[in-house]
Every structure is written in structure tokens, then in C-alpha cells.
Amino acid sequence: MPAEPVSPHVQGAAPPGLDASAGGDGPAGGEGPADAPAASSGLLGLLDRVDDAALPAIGRALNWAQAGLGSVGDRPWAGARRARAAVTARVAVDDAPAAVTGAEPRAARGWAAAGVLEAAFRVLVLGLVVLIVVGAVTTMLRGSDPGGATSGSGSGSGAAGSTVSGSGTADAAADADGAGAAAGPVEPSIVVGPAAGDAAGAYADSTRSELESLSAAAPAADLYAVVSLTAYQTPAELVRTLADYRVTEVFFRVPPDGAETSANVRDPVADVESAFDSAADAAETLAREDTDAVAAQRAHLEAMALRARCGCLYAAVVRAPAARLLELTRRGPVRTVHPAPPGSSPSAVRFVPLDPARS
């Protein structure tokens, strides 16, 4: 009558060929202690119990997460299922090699090594399952990748959908850049200065009344204002006139009919001198290139005057509280102080000074 095969998953069963009553004599071959398989089976039994407790919960978590993610997590879930199947189909130690294969029984060292290898393998697989579950849940919480290869209705393959999405983004960015380039610099929408045909006296009275109203309503309100002078001044004279005010722009020309020029400044000394030098360079270039002898001579004289720091400044833009701007109107060299609307940015305002010769 043939012997019944022994199940390879019966934990702790002694392999055929071992004499259970032999105690410490080991297998029939006489090599090594007989309780080595039992020791490895005890460790594997512990892992079996961990598997039985953890795998159902992990499976439910995987199914729940996969249902929430749809097709986004197909590849992670497939890896998790393969890992889970590898753990479930345990790589058991061959407990009865002689009965099943007819081979010679293994040595005790072989049994112990196989048990350790199996335990290590199963611990690694369990760790892999945990990592896959954590990664899958994290992916679900973050949502599907908007730039990834997710499939969608009418979008073809994932790669094609990704390509179309990237192309659309690039086109949108190009359109935005093109629109910005076409728009160009922002044109000032507010003009602060005398209108064409305004009499100088009436304009001066109007600006003073406006400044008094602003000063009474909010004396500490910080305002920009164009300050027109009664006469042309040199750079040194302008520094004395506006010594305790912040100057942001100056207006100058070589009188009586030189080209009107403005320059943004931060340092009322160095920046004004630099602006004079730049204007002089431009005038010298014009003097060399102009074929009209009269115009060339006039440009040459303007360049010389600017380099000599002529009395060419006739207005400036300053920034100060409304009350202090009102004080500035009382200074002798100042003809008018015209404030910009409260809260307006200098880039949105075009300041037009009053010409000293205008009456």
C-alpha cells in the first residue's frame, strides 16, 4: 500500500525518514540535530499568522483604493496583487523530499537554511506590499496626475492625451506671451498739467485750490506732484530749491527753444548731471550728422551749454505729503504745484510742467 504524501504546509511535522523517537539522533543519515525544521517552522508559523491577520485587511484597502483611483492605479495595483499572491502562495520548505521525490533526506543545515531564506523572502514581500499600499493611497489622495498618461473618453492613448495636453499648455503660454508683447508698455492714462489754451494765472490758482482741499482732507496723504519753476535753474540751484523733497523726475532744455527733455532721477545731483551729459552727447552727434549748417551749429551750442551745467531745469516731479506740498507753493522759485490724484501710480500719470515763458 503506497504511503500517503505529507502536505508541505503542515507546520512542525517531522519529515519522513526521521525517527520521532530518536530524540537528538537526527535523521537516518545521522547528520545534524532533528529539531532544526521545527525551529524554522516556528518562525514560519509566526509569519503565517501575520499573513492571515494582515493580508485580508491589505486586500480590502487595495480594493477600496483601486475603486477610488480607477485606471490611474492599474500598474501599482497589479504589482500589489502579484506581491500579495506571492505571499499567499507561500514558499514552504520541502518537508518530505524522500517521500515525494525519492531523493535522499536533507541535512539539518539544509533545513535551517531553507527556513531562514523563506522567512527573509516573506518579510521582504510583506514590506513591499506595505510600500505599494502606502504609495497607492498617497496617489489617490493627491488625485490623478494632470500631465500623466491617464486614459479618457475620446482622448486615444494615454501618451497621445499627454502630448495634446502639453501642446495646449505650450500654445496657451505662447498666446499669453504674444499678447503681452503686443500690448507693450502701459500708456499713462492721467495727465497732470495745464491744458492747451489755459492761462498760466488761472492754472496756478486752480492747482493751489486743489492742493489746499487735499491737504485739508488728508494732510499726511503721500502724493506725487509736478513742480513748475518761475525761471530756469542750474542743477545746483534746483538742489537748493527742493533740498528737503524727494525728486523723482526732472525737466530741462537749453533756453529759449531747445529740445524738451525729461529724466527719471533718484540722486538729484549725480542723476541730473548724468542726464545733462547724455543730452549733450546726443546734441554732439546731431551736430556732426546734420547737413543743415544752422541746425548743426545750434546743436553744438546746446551740447556745450549742457556740459557747462547751464540754467536749463524748469520743472521737477516730487513726492511728499499733501501738507508739505502746500508749503512748497510758498517758496519763491516755485510757480505751481499740481498734485496727481491720490493713490495714482507714477507710471499711470503723464506730468506736463508749465513753461516759464508761458503767461
Using alpha carbons, list the distances in angstroms from residue 100 to 14, 27, 97, 111, 298. 14, 17, 5, 16, 117
- pLDDT exceeds cutoff 60 at 74: no
Spatial contact of 241 and 233, defined as CB atoms under 8 Å apart: yes
pLDDT at residue 280 tops 50: yes
Q: What is the Cα 306 distance to its own chain's centre?
A: 48
* Cα 223 to Cα 351: distance, rounded to the nearest angstrom: 13
Give φ, ψ of 320 to 5 degrees.
-165, 165
For residue 182, is pLDDT > 60? Answer: no
Give dist(CA 200, CA 313) in Å, integer.
18
Q: List pLDDT tens digits, range 5-54.
A: 444 444 444 444 444 444 444 444 444 444 445 545 566 677 677 667 76
Report the candidate in 133, 121, 141, 125 with the shortest Cα–Cα distance to residue 76. Answer: 133
When pLDDT is cut at 50, 70 and 90, the band that residue 169 belongs to is: very low
Helix residue ranges per DSSP H, 5-106? 36-69, 74-88, 97-101
Cβ–Cβ < 8 Å for 215, 322: yes
Q: What is the pLDDT of residue 19?
A: 45
Asked whether 247 and 265 are in contact (CB, 8 A), the reply is yes
Position 126 confidence tier, pLDDT thresholds 50, 70, 90:
confident
- pLDDT greater than 80 at residue 118: no
- Collapse the DSSP code of 150 into the 3-class scheme (helix H, G, I; strand E, B; otherwise coil) and give the result: coil
Give the whole-angstrom CA distance, residue 139 versus residue 148. 12
pLDDT at 226: 98
Q: Which residue has better confidence, 244 or 359?
A: 244
For 281-303, the pLDDT digits (tens) are: 999 999 999 989 999 999 999 99
**pTM, whole model, 2 decimals?**
0.50
pLDDT band at 124; cut points 50, 70, 90: confident
Q: Which helix (H) or strand (E) holds 339?
A: strand 334-339
pLDDT exceeds cutoff 70 at 319: yes
HSE-CB of 159 using CA atoms within 13 angstroms: 0
- The highest-confidence range among 90-104, 173-187, 339-353, by mean pLDDT, is 339-353
For residue 76, the model assigns a pLDDT of 53
> Do residues 146 and 165 lie in contact, with contact meaning Cβ atoms separated by under 8 Å?
yes
C-alpha distances (whole Å) from 104 to each of 2, 8, 27, 32, 204 are: 18, 17, 11, 15, 119
Three-state SS string over 164-199 comes to HHHHHHHHHHHHHHHHHHHHCCCCCCEEECCCCCCC
